[in-house]
């Protein structure tokens, strides 16, 4: 399977699908053609979530024998080619690794899903149903998976191919993201006392954010996730070097544990924290706007899906444990909205491989992923 998965992953990498802006049409067309030419009789759906942004869904097998959804996203984060040692969309093999944008996140897992399904179907009498869903827009808003769920996707279990380093992720953090806007009064920098410096005011606001971060880290413990955090990720302010700025903005990123589904509780806590910030004996005016809310999600580490994946991995010499994933993924839609027990399992590391310059994945891990998917299908659909 080594050569097959290298070839298929490489073909997928060559289909540049950066998001933003959302260029998934090329990889979607490729996947449709590849599935149509498969020796397996896939029933294929191809529909646009937005113009030139298609979901591709393929089904095969008998659903009365059970059904498993193998899902993944076709978009990748942008690659700044000047920083790479080679063209990010011309994959190369280097030191046992396949290098290219999306190798780990997650073109390799997409290839593994196709090959695993074909191998399972061709070697199984009366196979259960496998649904392969390749969706757009995971890297921004999740519109592809949300649309899949809205169209009524159903299965007994689901595996998403995020880069988990061949571990079984049963829990994932959620995210609440905010824009904070501080307003002051502009003036000449030669007479700063006659103005109200919004950047200085923002500094006082961010001191409060740091205090909240310290509190969050000590408030709760989750058995498989890192502590909750709130992090300043962007700052902007000032229009000229000789003008005291009258506006400054910051983006803060709040990562939280499962069990909290009401965005208003985050809004209220943040607003309460920032009310009453004082600078130069005056209250700082802070506008708080929530821009993102993605739910945390989890299933029990004792779920039969986890056991099936663990046993399948062991058969291929991989020691896979139930762990956490400290980011938000499309699993939230499947778990919360579709009611499908879902885990993450795939090649590469979210910490060291995904979204990096010279992104790469171990070729041996690509093969192990495909074999583990096939083994899990056999166990879940027997």
pLDDT value of residue 282: 75
Question: Vertex 5, ends 54 and 134: CA angle to 5°?
Answer: 20
Residue 327 · residue 351 · CB < 8 Å? no
Instruction: Give the model's pLDDT for residue 22.
Output: 96
Asked whether residue 268 carries a pLDDT value surpassing 90, the answer given is: yes
Q: What is the pLDDT of residues 15-50, one digit of tens each?
A: 999 999 999 999 999 999 999 999 999 999 999 999
Mean predicted confidence (pLDDT) in 73-91: 98
Residue pointed to by tokens 């070097």: 241
Chain length of the chain: 382
Quick one: tokens of 358?
């010279």
Average pLDDT over residues 61-72: 98
Query: Does residue 164 surpass a pLDDT of 90?
Result: yes
Q: Determine the pLDDT at residue 289.
A: 98
Residues spanned by CATH 3.40.630.10 within the chain?
Answer: 2-172+296-380
Alpha-carbon distance of 378 to 375, in angstroms, equals: 5
pLDDT at position 257: 98
The pLDDT tens digits for 305-358 are 999 999 999 998 999 999 999 999 999 999 999 999 999 999 999 999 999 999
Question: How far is it, in rounded angstroms, from Cα 107 to Cα 10?
Answer: 8
Predicted confidence band of residue 283 (pLDDT cuts 50, 70, 90): confident
pLDDT above 90 (res 382): no
CATH topology of domain 2-172+296-380: Aminopeptidase (3.40.630)
Distance (Å, whole) CA 283 – CA 134: 50
The beta strand positions in 326-375, using DSSP E, are 342-344, 360-362
pLDDT of residue 160 exceeding 80, the answer is: yes
pLDDT 10s digits, 290-300: 999 999 999 99
User: In this structure, are residues 207 and 261 in contact, taking their beta carbons and an 8 Å threshold?
Assistant: no
CATH architecture for residues 174-294: 2-Layer Sandwich (3.30)
- Domain(s) labelled CATH 3.30.70.360 in the chain stretch across 174-294
Averaged pLDDT for residues 98-126: 98
The whole-model pTM stands at: 0.94
pLDDT of residue 276: 82
Band the pLDDT of 281: cuts 50, 70, 90.
confident
> Could you report the per-residue pLDDT of 185-233, keeping only the tens digit for each?
999 999 999 899 999 999 999 999 999 999 999 998 999 999 999 999 9
């Amino acid at each position: 399977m080594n050569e097959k998965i290298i070839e298929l992953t490489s073909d997928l990498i060559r289909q540049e699908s950066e998001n933003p802006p959302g260029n998934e049409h090329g990889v979607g067309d490729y996947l449709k053609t590849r599935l149509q030419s498969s020796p397996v009789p896939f029933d294929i759906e191809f529909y646009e979530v937005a113009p030139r942004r298609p979901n591709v869904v393929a089904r095969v097998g008998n659903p009365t024998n059970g059904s498993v959804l193998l899902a993944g996203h076709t978009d990748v984060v942008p690659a700044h080619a000047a920083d790479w040692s080679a063209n990010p969309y011309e994959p190369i093999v280097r030191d046992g690794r396949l290098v290219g944008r999306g190798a780990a996140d997650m073109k390799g897992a997409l290839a593994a899903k196709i090959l695993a399904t074909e191998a399972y179907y061709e070697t199984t009498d009366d196979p259960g149903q496998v649904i392969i869903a390749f969706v757009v827009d995971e890297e921004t808003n999740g519109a592809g998976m949300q649309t899949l769920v809205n169209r009524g996707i159903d299965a007994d279990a689901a595996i998403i191919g995020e880069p988990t380093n061949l571990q079984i992720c049963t829990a994932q953090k959620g995210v609440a993201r905010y824009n904070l806007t501080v307003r002051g009064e502009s003036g000449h920098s030669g007479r700063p006392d006659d103005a109200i410096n919004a950047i200085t005011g923002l500094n006082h606001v961010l001191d409060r954010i740091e205090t909240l971060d310290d509190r969050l880290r000590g408030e709760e413990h989750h058995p498989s996730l890192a502590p909750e955090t709130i992090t300043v990720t962007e700052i902007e302010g000032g229009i000229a070097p000789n003008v005291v700025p009258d506006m400054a903005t910051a983006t803060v990123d709040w990562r939280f544990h499962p069990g909290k589904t009401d965005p208003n509780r985050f809004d209220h806590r943040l607003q309460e924290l920032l009310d009453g910030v004082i600078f130069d004996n005056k209250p700082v005016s802070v506008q708080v706007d929530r821009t993102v809310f993605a739910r945390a999600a989890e299933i029990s580490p004792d779920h039969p899906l986890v056991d099936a994946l663990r046993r399948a991995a062991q058969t291929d010499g991989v020691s896979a444990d139930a762990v956490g994933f400290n980011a938000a993924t499309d699993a939230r839609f499947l778990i919360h909205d579709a009611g499908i027990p879902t885990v993450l399992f795939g090649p590469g590391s979210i910490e060291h491989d995904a979204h990096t310059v010279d992104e790469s994945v171990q070729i041996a891990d690509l093969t192990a992923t495909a074999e583990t998917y096939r083994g899990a299908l056999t166990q879940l659909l027997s």
